[in-house]
A and B are shown apart, each in its own frame.
Chain A
Amino acid sequence: MGKKLMIVDPQKCTGCRNCELVCSVKHNGVSDPSLARIHIVKWDDERFYMPMRCQHCRDAPCLAVCPKDAIYRDEEMDSVRINHDLCIGCKMCVSACPFGAMGWNPKRGRVFKCDLCHGDPQCVRFCDVKAVDYVETSKLCCDRMRDAAENYAELTRRYPR
Chain B
Amino acid sequence: MALNRKIAYIDLDAETVRFEQIPMEWRRKFIGGRGLDAYLLYTNTPKGCDPLGSDNVVIISAGILGGTLASSASRTHITAKSPLTNLFGSASMGGFFAPEMRWAGIDHFVIRGKASRPVFIYAHDGEIEIRDADFVWGKGVYDTQARIRSELADEETQILCIGQAGENLVRYATVMTGRKDAGARTGMGAVLGSKNLKAIACRGTMEIEISNPEEALEYNKETIDRVVSSKASQSMQRWGTNFMFGITNTTGLVRTRNFQYNQLPNSENLEAENLEKFSVGMDACFGCQVHCRHRYVIKDGEYAGTYALGPDFTGQGAFGAEVGCRSMDTVLVCNHLVNDYGIDTLEVGSMIAWAMELYEEGIITDKDTHGLKLEWGNDEAVIALIKQVALRQGFGDILAEGPLPAARRLGPDSLKYLIHVKGMSNLNTDERAAPAWALSIAVSSRGSDNLRGMPAIDLYNLPMELLEKVYRSPDGYDGPLTNSFSEYEGKPRMVMWQELCYMAVESLGVCKYHTVFLSPNHPAFTEFSRLIQLNVGLEFSEMDLWDCAKRCYTIERLFNLREGMTRADDMLTDRYFEEPTRLGLPAARGKYIDRNRFEAMLDEYYRLHEWDEAGIPTPELLERLDISDLWTPGKN
Contact = CB atoms under 8 A, between A and B. Distances in A.
A33 B103 contact: yes
Interface in A110-150: 122, 125-126, 128-129
B288 A18 contact: yes
Interface string A17-28: 110011001101
A26 B210 CA distance: 10
Contacts of B281: 11-14, 47-48
Interface residues on A, range: 20 to 34
A15 interface: yes
Contact of A29 (B142, B209, B282, B297): B209
A102 interface: no
Contacts of B142: 44
Contact of A47 (B146, B217, B287, B307): B307
A14 B280 contact: no
Contact of A18 (B205, B287, B297): B287
Contact of B208 (A22, A26, A31, A42): A31
B283 to A, nearest CB: 6
Secondary structure dominating the interface of A: loop
B145 interface: yes
Given A22-B69, A44-B146, A126-B220, A16 B284 contact: yes
A32 interface: yes
B69 A25 contact: yes
A149 B282 CA distance: 20
B446 to A, nearest CB: 28
B288 A30 contact: no
B450 interface: no
B508 interface: no
Contacts of B289: 16, 18, 126, 128-129
A34 interface: yes
B284 A14 contact: yes
Nearest to B535: A31
A26 to B, nearest CB: 6
Given A18-B287, A44-B145, A128-B228, 12 more contacts: A14-B282, A16-B284, A17-B96, A21-B67, A21-B69, A29-B209, A30-B213, A32-B103, A33-B205, A43-B155, A47-B297, A129-B289
What 3 A-B pairs come out closest when comparing CB atoms?
A16-B284, A14-B284, A30-B207
23 contacts: A11-B281, A14-B283, A16-B288, A17-B96, A21-B286, A21-B287, A22-B220, A25-B210, A25-B213, A28-B207, A29-B210, A30-B213, A31-B69, A32-B103, A34-B103, A35-B207, A44-B145, A44-B179, A122-B217, A126-B221, A126-B224, A128-B224, A128-B289
